């Protein structure tokens, strides 16, 4: 992007800055989840799973598109959805690191999707009732899709956790791998705080307790243990500092726009 | 079954075919009819499933969010088509599991076209336009096929394929109106896909070993050459509208025939690809095989869980 809007300062200068940053958090989470899920296409464990993962990926890309469209409207200078989605540098993406983690095996993908979609479910449940009509409308539409993502992935946690010894072991290992990254969702970014003060974003502490309650119950039912929490300092959604995986994801996703800038496709 | 009954059944079957009535799963049918259908429907299903791979190659690199979503929706439809078609084949008394294993073992065929690589973004446009375009011509004709479940699957599939072809042509149109580099990218893709797309209709009528019986039983409703000609006649004006050229110096309108004439097709290439010697045969099958093997523990877990709780 030739001109960028500074949304990465620890204290956004204005409410608009905060709102833009906040919308990027929502949009980028959806985009990066969708992008990763696209990698499963054609190679899922069975055709029905292929179909479901395509469907969920498409939901995420649609949600990202809706958030970017709103961003385009309120952005301080002219831009478009694809400039926002494809033409930023790595440190200008504000997704949580959980979403950018590699898919790993099917268990790891499910672990990542389940932990994310349970968070996303409570987040969107709050946002669909918020006073910003536009945010509420997009969240309400997304909420219906996210209900399905939460149900689909929770069912797989149960099947894999309580299926065979192998699947149990793989599911447990997968949870251990992605676990720490989930906590980034609950560490408020400056934009989260400001939007919360304006009554738009929910209190993340509350979302965290709902999430913990549901995840603990789910894992218990699936005969899985709650992983030990390690590093919880990931803050990509605040400062754009990502994991080592993000650069590769963007190199692939941005290839066409980088190689052939300013063209219509 | 005594001789008379068998003859009666066959007569009744032939009568239904003659009257354009559909044969349904519980109806008596000659074993050869059943075998031919299983072969054709399962090949069609495998083609849908393997056809996801060349497109997937550009899904993660699609240039815009709108294009990425449209491509993903198309691929999702293809997975769905695979499912309907496997179900249609299952009505003939084979299991999807068996059909899929035959496919992974290389015993069953799928459309040759998916053994060619998708090298640039323009290939995604050209696949949608030419490959789906050719598939539609074939499938529209199969909506009148004599086997009920297959005919009904085709009606549903054709609706979605039309959307696929439009999205492909829309990509081509954007490239054709774009920069010099984009136009070149499009022309290169057309050059690479043109002949394989024409080969999608199968060998010339004279050499098509399954055609005669298949036409007699109305499994197939039009000959390979007829459908190929129809495709060419329909596609050339679209090609001209793009301002692009086909890699065929003999392609020319013939006012006497009321059709386009076209140059000789390299059938040796076609037979080579059928025999597994195309640029991507090994890779495509290996990808599906590895995915299937890697997914075994997931399927096992689902079965074990279902047994525990159902």
Three state DSSP letters for B115-173 = HCCCCCHHHHHHHHHHHHHHHHHHHHHHCCCCEHHHHHHHHHHHHHHHHHHHHHHHHHH
In a domain, A212, yes or no: yes
A43 contact B CB<8A: yes
The C-alpha atoms of residue B162 and residue B157 are separated, in whole angstroms, by 9
Q: Which residue of B has its CA nearest to A160?
A: B301
C-beta separation of B36 from B210 below 8 A: yes
In a domain, A145, yes or no: yes
Domain CATH code at residue A128: 1.20.1260.10
Give whole-number Cα distances, A177 to A96, A157, A171, B75, in Å: 15, 15, 10, 30
**Based on the structure, what is the number of domains in chain A?**
1
Q: How many CA atoms lie within 13 A of B141 on its CB side?
A: 19
| Nearest by CB: B52 against A41, A256, A265 | A41
In a domain, A112, yes or no: yes
pTM of the model: 0.95
Choosing among B87, B99, B301, B310, which should be mutated to test the A contact, i.e. which has the most A CBs within 10 A? Answer: B301
Considering only CA atoms, which of B50, B32, B36 is closest in space to residue B273?
B50
Hunting for tokens 């640029």 — which residue is that? B279
Q: How far off is chain B from A143, nearest CA to CA, in Å?
A: 19
**Strand pairing partners for B259?**
B254
| Nearest by CB: A38 against B72, B86, B174 | B72
| Nearest by CB: B65 against A39, A61, A167 | A61
CB contact under 8 A, A39 and B61: no
Most distant pair of Cα atoms in chain A: their distance: 56
DSSP annotation string for B161-221? HHHHHHHHHHHHHHHHTS-HHHHHHHHHHHHHHHHHHHHTT-S-GGG-TTHHHHHHTTSS-
The length of chain A in residues reads 265
| Nearest by CB: A256 against B82, B121, B178 | B121
Degrees, nearest 5: CA angle B44-B45-B50: 100
Identify the pLDDT of residue A263: 96
Considering only CA atoms, which of A203, A204, A177, A207 is closest in space to residue A102?
A177
The C-alpha atoms of residue A83 and residue A99 are separated, in whole angstroms, by 21
Q: Which residue of B has its CA nearest to A53?
A: B76
Identify the pLDDT of residue B4: 65
Interface of A with B in 199-228 (CB under 8 A): none
Q: Which residue of B has its CA nearest to A45?
A: B295
In a domain, A186, yes or no: yes
In a domain, A157, yes or no: yes
CB contact under 8 A, B65 and A65: yes
- Chain A positions touching B298 (Cβ under 8 A) are 45-46, 49, 106, 160, 167
Q: Is A30 left (phi over 0), alpha (psi -120 to 50) or beta?
A: alpha
In a domain, A265, yes or no: no
Helix (H) / strand (E) containing A33: helix A15-38
Q: How confident is residue B211, by pLDDT bands cut at 50, 70 and 90? A: confident
**Strand pairing partners for B261?**
B252
CB contact under 8 A, A265 and B73: no
CB contact under 8 A, B300 and A38: no
The angle that helices B281-294 and B296-309 make with each other, rounded to 10 degrees, is: 30
Domain residue limits at A16: 12-226+235-259
**ipTM, 2 decimals?**
0.95
Output the tens digit of pLDDT for each of chain A's 265 residues.
Answer: 444 555 555 567 788 899 999 999 999 999 999 999 999 999 999 999 999 999 999 999 999 999 999 999 999 999 999 999 999 999 999 999 999 999 999 999 999 999 999 999 999 999 999 999 999 999 999 999 999 999 999 999 999 999 999 999 999 999 999 999 999 999 999 999 999 999 999 999 999 999 999 999 999 999 999 999 999 999 999 999 999 999 999 999 999 999 999 999 9
Q: What percent of chain B has pLDDT over 70?
A: 99
CB contact under 8 A, A45 and B68: no
The C-alpha atoms of residue B246 and residue B202 are separated, in whole angstroms, by 20
Q: How far off is chain B from A199, nearest CA to CA, in Å?
A: 31
In a domain, A144, yes or no: yes
In a domain, A264, yes or no: no
Q: For B89-146, write each residue's pLDDT tens digit.
A: 999 999 999 999 999 999 999 999 999 999 999 999 999 999 999 999 999 999 999 9
CB contact under 8 A, A164 and B49: no
Q: How confident is residue B6, by pLDDT bands cut at 50, 70 and 90? A: confident
- Residue B252, φ and ψ in degrees, nearest 5: -160, 145
Considering only CA atoms, which of B45, B238, B72 is closest in space to residue B164?
B72
Listed in sequence order, the residues at least 6 apart from A59 whose beta carbon sits closer than 8 Å to its beta carbon are A34, A142, A145, A146, A148, A149
Q: Which residue of B has its CA nearest to A104?
A: B294
Assigned token pair, B284? 């495509």
Helix (H) / strand (E) containing A126: helix A106-127
């Amino acid at each position: 992007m030739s001109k960028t809007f500074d949304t990465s300062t620890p204290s956004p200068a204005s409410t608009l800055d905060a709102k833009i940053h906040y919308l990027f958090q929502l949009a980028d989470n959806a985009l990066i989840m969708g992008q990763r899920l696209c990698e499963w296409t054609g190679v899922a464990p069975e055709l029905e799973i292929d179909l479901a993962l395509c469907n969920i990926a498409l939901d995420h890309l649609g949600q990202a598109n809706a958030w970017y469209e709103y961003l385009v409207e309120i952005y301080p200078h002219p831009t478009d959805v694809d400039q926002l989605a494809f033409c930023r540098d790595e440190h200008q993406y504000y997704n949580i690191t959980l979403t950018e983690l590699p898919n790993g095996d099917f268990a790891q993908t499910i672990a990542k999707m389940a932990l994310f979609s349970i968070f996303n479910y409570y987040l969107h449940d709050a946002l669909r009732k918020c006073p910003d009509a536009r945010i509420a409308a997009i969240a309400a539409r997304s909420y219906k899709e996210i209900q399905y993502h939460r149900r689909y992935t929770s069912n797989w946690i149960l099947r894999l956790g309580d299926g065979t010894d192998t699947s149990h072991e793989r599911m447990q290992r997968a949870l251990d791998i992605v676990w720490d990254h989930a906590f980034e969702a609950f560490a408020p970014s400056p934009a989260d705080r400001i939007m919360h003060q304006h009554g738009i974003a929910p209190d993340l502490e509350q979302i965290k307790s709902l999430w913990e309650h549901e995840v603990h119950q789910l894992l218990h039912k699936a005969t899985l243990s709650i992983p030990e929490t390690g590093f919880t300092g990931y803050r990509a959604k605040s400062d754009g500092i990502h994991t080592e995986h993000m650069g590769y994801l963007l190199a692939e996703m941005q290839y066409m726009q980088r190689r052939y800038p300013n063209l219509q496709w | 079954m005594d001789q008379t009954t068998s003859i009666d059944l066959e007569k009744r079957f032939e009568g239904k075919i003659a009257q354009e009535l559909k044969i349904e799963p519980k109806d008596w049918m000659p074993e050869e009819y059943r075998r031919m259908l299983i072969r054709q429907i399962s090949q069609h299903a495998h083609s849908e499933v393997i056809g996801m791979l060349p497109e997937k190659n550009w899904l993660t690199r699609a240039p815009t969010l709108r294009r990425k979503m449209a491509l993903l929706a198309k691929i999702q439809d293809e997975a769905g088509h695979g499912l309907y078609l496997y179900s249609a084949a299952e009505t003939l008394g084979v299991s999807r599991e068996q059909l899929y294993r035959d496919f992974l073992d290389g015993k069953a065929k799928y459309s040759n076209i998916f053994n060619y690589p998708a090298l640039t973004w323009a290939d995604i446009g050209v696949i949608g336009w030419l490959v789906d375009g050719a598939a539609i011509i074939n499938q529209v004709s199969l909506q009148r096929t004599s086997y009920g479940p297959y005919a009904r699957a085709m009606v549903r599939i054709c609706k979605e394929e039309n959307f696929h072809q439009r999205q492909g042509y829309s990509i081509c149109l954007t490239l054709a109106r774009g920069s010099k580099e984009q136009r070149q990218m499009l022309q290169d893709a057309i050059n690479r896909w043109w002949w394989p797309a024409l080969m999608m209709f199968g060998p010339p009528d004279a050499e098509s070993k399954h055609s005669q019986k298949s036409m007699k039983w109305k499994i197939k409703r039009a000959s390979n050459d007829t459908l190929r000609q129809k495709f060419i006649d329909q596609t050339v004006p679209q090609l001209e509208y793009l301002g692009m050229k086909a890699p065929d110096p003999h392609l020319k309108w013939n006012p006497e025939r009321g059709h386009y004439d076209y140059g000789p097709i390299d059938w040796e290439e076609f037979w080579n690809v059928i025999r597994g010697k195309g640029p991507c045969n090994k890779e495509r099958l290996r990808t599906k095989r590895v995915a299937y093997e890697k997914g075994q523990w997931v399927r096992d877990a689902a079965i074990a869980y279902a047994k525990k709780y159902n």
